[in-house]
Structure formats: structure tokens, C-alpha cells
Amino acid sequence: MELENPYLIFLGDVPDALGAKTGLGIVDWRREWCVGQWRLDGCKADAGLPEMDAAEAARTGAKTMVVGAVNSGGQLPMHWVSSIVAALDAGMDVATGLHQKLADVPEIRDAAERNGRRLIDVRHSNEKFATGKGTKRPGKRLLTVGTDCSVGKKYTALALEKAMRDAGFDADFRATGQTGVFISGRGAAIDAVVADFISGAAEWISPAAEPDHWDLVEGQGSLFHPAFAGVSLGLLHGSQPDAFVVCHEPTRTKMRAVEHPLPSIREVIDLTIRCGSLTNPAIRCVGIAVNTAALDEAAARSLLDSLAGEHNLPATDPVRFGVDTIVAEIKTSFADA
């Protein structure tokens, strides 16, 4: 799916910043696409954008209103419906990552039809994917993989996009989850694809490109997560990465939502190379990204030094220390390619 920018970010009346995580993430990475924020009475989140409603945003040039807020349960609160209808009546598309489809609400469906605008449910792709082919495509690809879910795979891929562009690379972030799709304006929520088409969708997400172009593909789940490893493996095969970065959260003792312990970084590197070789025999690890938020700076540096030595790879916290060391490793590692 493709979203047209500029965006108006709708934050509803969420009670805290967590409820506006999607909207805040978009503003973090694509401030230049966001003309304003629309907040209802009682909203406790603030993305720091100019305040405006749908009519004003449309006058300012906004093409899509992104519902960047979520209430518990992922359902659409009925008191947000009139704002969505107003956005459609003002001539914008409306995009959400909610479980509930926008078109399932009759007033919204009618308003979209009346105005000839699109309702974009990022969790429910209408894209028809082919099954994967596994054939090598031109262009270079990097995939972020993890010891678990929610360990910074999206953040690391976005940080690499920025740092690689700054370093003169031709590089694009490729989204595989809903917030990522809003941030890149394109992509697919790969965990919502029908199982037969996981790797086919991944092939569509990072298509053939110029030989020195880098796609930075947002990873999902973990090959070691008993619920989601199938998604991770299909994404690995379809992305056919030349390079990967292992993302890790060192204070976590169990994988998310299950009782399993986290795998070691070494196990993740080994199994990623073994399975990834199927569609790219040259796959290699180029770095380790650790979320050290729970550690003080000395402890963080000590952990990263120790991991770097153990694996002979750059190890960094992308939030705290940036990803320049990984970009340098990519530059060296692919100097001859």
C-alpha cells in the first residue's frame, strides 16, 4: 500500500504518550511530512506539531489523515468517527493501524465513497502478493533481526537509513509493520499477510534495485520465538539480505508473551546465516544493536565493548551512541562489491 503525504496526525483523546506511539514515531522520523496534529479535548499526548483540524490541514496541503493513536483493544472509539468523516469530507484519505477496518463503520464507508477518498487499513492489506521465488534480485539489502520481538529492529533500520544517507549511501528504509508503513509511506504489515505469501510479500517490499542501492528492511519477531518464527523466516528468505544486524535487549529474561528464555546473540547469528543462505549464500552479520536504556552509561559501554570483542563486530546502542560504527563496517565489508 502507498500513502500520500503530507500527513495530518490525528491523536484523538488518548490518555498518555503510549497511546499515541504511532503518531509520535511518524513525527520522529518524518517531521517534514507532517503539517499538523489534531487533538480532541482531553488528549494527553503531544507530538509538538501545529494544532489544526481537518479543514485547516486540507487547506495547508495535507493529503492523508493518519490515525496515530490507539485505545486499548485496537478498536475505533465511536467519538472519533466524526473526525474521520470530517477528514474525508475535507478531501483527505484516512489511514489507520487499528484491528477494526474503517470501512466496517457505515458513516466512514459512506463518507469515503461520497468523496472518492481511500480508507487505508495498514493491518489489512488488499495487496495481492505472489508466492516467493527466492531468485536473487539486484541491489543490496540489510535486515534487522532479533533475539526477541520489540528489541529495536524498526528503530535500528531507520537509524541506519539516516546514517547511511548522511554517509552518502543510496539507502531506503523498507517497512514490514504498521508504524513503519506510515513512516515510509509504503510497505506491508507482514504479520497480517496470509501465511503462503510471507516471503512473496517480503520480495515485493524490497524489489530489484540499482546494484549499489541499499534497502534497510525492518525485521519482525525472532527465529527463536515460538509464536512468530515463521514470519521471521519468511521475511529472511524473501528479503535475501546481504547483511544483517542483531538487535537485543539485555535485561529481558523471557521472550515476549511466552515462557521461553532469549537465545544468545551467537545462536541468532548462526541460525540467521544458516537459514538466510538459502536465498543469499553471501549473507553476513555486520553489527549488534543493543537497547541499553536500563543500564547506566558505564555499564552500557562495558557491555557493548564485551559484545564487540566476543563477536568481532561493531556493537552499539542506536539510541544512545548512534550507528556510525555499523555504517563503517558496511562500508569496509562491501568495499569490493
- Residue closer to a second copy, measured from CB, 189 or 289: 189
Pairwise CA distance, residues 175 & 161, whole Å: 12
**Per CB under 8 A, 135 contacts a second copy:** yes
CB of 190 to a second copy, least distance (A): 6
Find cell 470530517 and name the residue: 86
Indicate which single residue of 13, 230, 252, 331 sits in contact with a second copy (rule: CB under 8 A): 230
Q: Is 25 in the site for a second copy (CB under 8 A)?
A: no
For 66, which DSSP code? E
Contact call for residue 153 and a second copy (CB under 8 A): no
CA–CA distance, 289 with 286 (Å, rounded to integer): 10
The secondary structure of residue 288, as a DSSP letter, is: E
55 binds a second copy (CB under 8 A): no
Q: Does 337 bind a second copy (CB under 8 A)?
A: no
Contact 7, 33 (CB under 8 A): yes
Q: How many residues does the chain have?
A: 337
Closest to a second copy by CB, 230 or 322? 230
CB of 204 to a second copy, least distance (A): 13
Q: Which three cell numbers stand for residue 24?
A: 509520535
Please state, in angstroms and as integers, the Cα–Cα distance from residue 161 to each residue in 10, 72, 122, 241, 300, following that order. 26, 31, 22, 15, 24
C-alpha cell, 156: 535500528
User: Quick one: 68 or 177, whose CB is closer to a second copy?
Assistant: 177
Residue 320 — left, alpha, or beta (φ > 0 → left; ψ -120 to 50 → alpha)? alpha
Examine residue 182 and tell whether it contacts a second copy (CB under 8 A). no
List 60, 131, 306, 332, residue binding a second copy (CB under 8 A): 131
Question: From edge to edge, which strands make up the β-sheet containing 64-67?
Answer: 34-39, 7-12, 64-67, 93-96, 119-121
When binding is defined by CB under 8 A, the residue of 141, 154, 174, 237 that contacts a second copy is: 237
Which of 155, 228 has the CB closer to a second copy? Answer: 228
What does the per-residue mask of binding to a second copy show for 97-126, with x meaning CB under 8 A?
------------------------------
Total residues contacting a second copy (rule CB under 8 A)?
A: 38
Which residues, including other chains, have CB under 8 Å from residue 226's CB and lie 6 or more apart? 255, 258, 260
Residue 286 engages a second copy in binding (rule: CB under 8 A): no
Binding mask 183-202 for a second copy (x = CB under 8 A): -------xxxxxxx-xxx--
Q: Is residue 138 within 8 Å of 208, Cβ to Cβ?
A: yes
What residues make contact with a second copy under the rule CB under 8 A? 131-135, 190-196, 198-200, 223-224, 226-235, 237-238, 257-260, 271, 274-275, 278-279
